[in-house]
Amino acid sequence: MKTPAEIRAIHDLPFPELLFRAATVHRAHWEPTAIQFCTLDSIKTGACPEDCAYCPQSAKYNTGLKVEPMKEVGAVLAGAAAAKALGSTRYCMGAAWREVKDDRNFEAVLEMVRGVAGLGMEVCVTLGMLDVDQALRLKQAGCKVYNHNIDSSPDFYETIISTRRFEDRLRTIDAVRRAGLEVCCGGIVGMGESVEHRIHFLQELTEMDPAPESIPINHLVPVPGTPLADLPPVPPLEFIRMIATARILFPASRIRLSAGRTAMSDEMQALAFFAGANSIFTGDRLLTTPNPGEDRDLGLLKALGMRVEGVPVPA
Ligand code: SAM
Ligand code: DTB
Ligand code: SF4
């Protein structure tokens, strides 16, 4: 655990000092030239009853999103196999649910988990709130990780979501831990929060013991129709400060440069990798919004002399 003042002191270091420290921590724990490729699959899209102000999938906002019923298991497994062929080692299935219910749809998710695990990929799911029994069933099916973000600081959270409490997020994360699943928990930068809110968001993560094994740092993707549609992007150097600070606070966790990469330059992404980000979402789509796509990402890694983690370097 760290105090907000301690975290702020790291965050506000002179930029070269901050990056040097982050890169030093990074290479002491990870191979700094390798990036993990994860692929997302939206297994149930849209019509979510929650009102998260950033989210195109909330039924409360008119974003023009095509609502889709639960995907067929076969289609999901075909998607996972295709992602694996392109170098992805982790497959994350997301559903626009408020919470998991013990119904046919959850049975279908368990079947998807068994299938993707059978392909030899790391399986991650993000399904909203759940209890320990449901988390245990996921674990028994071969799921490795559950993604459930705290998204921001507790006080800022109240201004972006009214349909659930910050404590509900913590309760689900606790259930995930009790079931022995790994925790993937991060947040979004660029929702109009102050630097102080960002510090408190990171501080909440430092209170988790053990720390989340993976921490996605998303840049808001502003989607027309959502209340946050018109927010300006966070200055790139401020965003890199968040990546570097997260790396220093969580040396052994994966830091994932998550949503928002289509609007980032190659230089900005290169800085994020130098500052300790070591995982990205690949493919043309995140859940519902565009993502750079395999060709651009492979091109970027090539230009940087970096490689995809877990994939042999071509001769
Ligand atoms: N419904 C589940 C939940 O809320 O946990 C799982 C899916 S939800 C889409 C997963 C995460 O996506 C959110 O916690 C948020 O961090 C991220 N997200 C959603 N919309 C986003 C946006 N427009 N920009 C950046 N991240 C976003
Ligand atoms: C996370 O932190 N980011 C991913 C994943 N976890 C599930 C989702 C990003 C979604 C971006 C908006 C969209 O594509 O709908
Ligand atoms: Fe629903 Fe998750 Fe989107 Fe919130 S973030 S509206 S819970 S899909």
Q: Which residues are catalytic?
A: 48, 52, 55, 92, 124, 184, 256
Q: What is the pLDDT of residue 314?
A: 55
Please classify residue 180 by burial: count the beta carbons closer than 10 Å to its beta carbon, then call 0-12 exposed, 13-18 middle and 19+ buried: exposed
Lowest mean pLDDT, pick from 40-54, 245-259, 300-314: 300-314
Above 90 in pLDDT, residue 50? yes
Distance 48 CA to ligand 3 centre (A): 6
Distance CA 84, CA 86 (A): 5
Distance 56 CA to ligand 3 centre (A): 8
Q: Among residues 290, 286, 126, 153, which one has the least CA distance to residue 214?
A: 126
Q: Which residues lie across from 124 on neighbouring strands?
A: 92, 145
Residues 6+ apart with CB under 8 A from 198: 11, 153, 189, 242
Q: Among residues 98, 72, 94, 179, which one has the least CA distance to residue 131?
A: 179
Greatest alpha-carbon span in the chain: 54
- Ligand 3 atom closest to the CA of 57, numbered from 1: 3
Residue type at 116 in one-letter notation: V
Q: What is the pLDDT of residue 85?
A: 86
Q: What is the pLDDT of residue 86?
A: 82
Q: Which ligand is nearest to the CA of 128?
A: 1
**CB count in 10 Å sphere of residue 167:** 9
For residue range 106-132, list pLDDT tens digits in order.
999 999 999 999 999 999 999 999 999
Above 90 in pLDDT, residue 245? yes
- Ligand 3 atom closest to the CA of 96, numbered from 1: 8
Vertex 199: Cα angle to 190 and 256 (nearest 5): 60
Mean pLDDT of the region 132-154: 97
Judged by phi (left if over 0) then psi (alpha if -120 to 50, else beta), residue 100 lies in beta
Q: Which residues lie across from 215 on neighbouring strands?
A: 255
The larger pLDDT score, comparing residue 135 to residue 37, is at 135
Lowest mean pLDDT, pick from 185-199, 200-214, 262-276, 296-310: 296-310
Q: Give the containing element (helix H, strand E) for 243.
A: helix 236-249
Q: What is the pLDDT of residue 89?
A: 87
Question: What residues line ligand 2, using a CB cutoff of 6 Å?
Answer: 40, 56, 92, 94, 126, 147, 149, 186, 216, 218, 221, 258-259, 286-289
Mean pLDDT of the region 247-272: 97
- Ligand 2 atom closest to the CA of 54, numbered from 1: 12
Residue 312 — very low, low, confident or very high, per pLDDT cuts 50/70/90?
Answer: low
Q: What is the pLDDT of residue 151?
A: 95
Above 90 in pLDDT, residue 267? yes
The 3-state DSSP class for residue 206 equals: helix
Q: What is the pLDDT of residue 88?
A: 84
Vertex 174: Cα angle to 168 and 176 (nearest 5): 105
Q: What is the pLDDT of residue 102?
A: 87
Q: Which ligand is nearest to the CA of 279?
A: 2
Please classify residue 36 by burial: count the beta carbons closer than 10 Å to its beta carbon, then call 0-12 exposed, 13-18 middle and 19+ buried: buried
Q: Whose CA is nearest to atom 4 of ligand 1?
A: 128
Q: What is the pLDDT of residue 309?
A: 87
Distance of CA 306 to the CA centre of its chain: 21
